[in-house]
Structure 1
Amino acid sequence: MSSTHVRRAPLIALAAGFFILTMPLVSHAQFAMCGERAQIVEQLKVKYKETPQAVGIVSDNGVAELFVSEQGTWTMLMTLTSGKSCIIAAGHSWDAVPTLARGTGI
């Protein structure tokens, strides 16, 4: 596994854990950003030009995936063992490798 995937694993685990803990709330609110995985992935590809960058298994409940575009938009998708997929987070300005400040005394 590459070091990039290792750095992303804690982010995926944190977001997936948040999703699992709040899943009952999401289902009661009829979360509008859920559907068939293939359709969601196609929309991420066409509309945002996002491609898969990382994946992680979340216990026995499903899989979390991170999609990122060259422009820096990103989406986290959770697919449960039931087959239901939901977007659990999205944003912009994704940086795969953090930029560290350089200089004297740092």
Structure 2
Amino acid sequence: MTRKLTQQFGTTRRASGLRSPEEVVEIWTDPDGDWTMVIAYASGQSCIVAMGAYWQDGGPENPA
């Protein structure tokens, strides 16, 4: 999945986080703002669960 996302679609992994002990959620984006959400499972399998456009980074948080 990583090779296809990087080489064929020109995306880079922008963010990731644990969904459960067995699942990691990853956001991949391209320079045009298209994004892909992938769930990577501990078994080694991955699945694209959502795609969209106009990704924007939230920037650093500013605590009040």
Superposition TM-score, scaled by structure 2 size: 0.78
Unpaired runs of 5+ in structure 1?
1-39, 99-106
Greater CA radius of gyration, 1 or 2? 1
2:27 is equivalent to residue 63 of structure 1: no
| Higher-helix-fraction structure | 1
Measured on the aligned residues, the alpha-carbon RMSD in Å equals: 1.6
Q: Which runs of 4+ in 1 moved over 3 A?
A: none
Distance in 2 of aligned mates of 1:94 and 1:78: 18
State the 1:66 CA deviation.
0.6
Name the % identity: 32
2:23 is equivalent to residue 91 of structure 1: no
Size of the aligned set, in residue pairs, is 59
State the 1:47 CA deviation.
2.3
Q: Which string of whole-angstrom CA distances, capped at 9 and with x for unpartnered residues, describes residues 76-106 of structure 1?
A: 11011121110011111112249xxxxxxxx
Unpaired runs of 5+ in structure 2?
60-64
Instruction: Give the alignment partner of residue 42 of structure 2, picking from 52, 62, 81.
Output: 81
Contact 1:48 1:73 in 2 (8 A): no
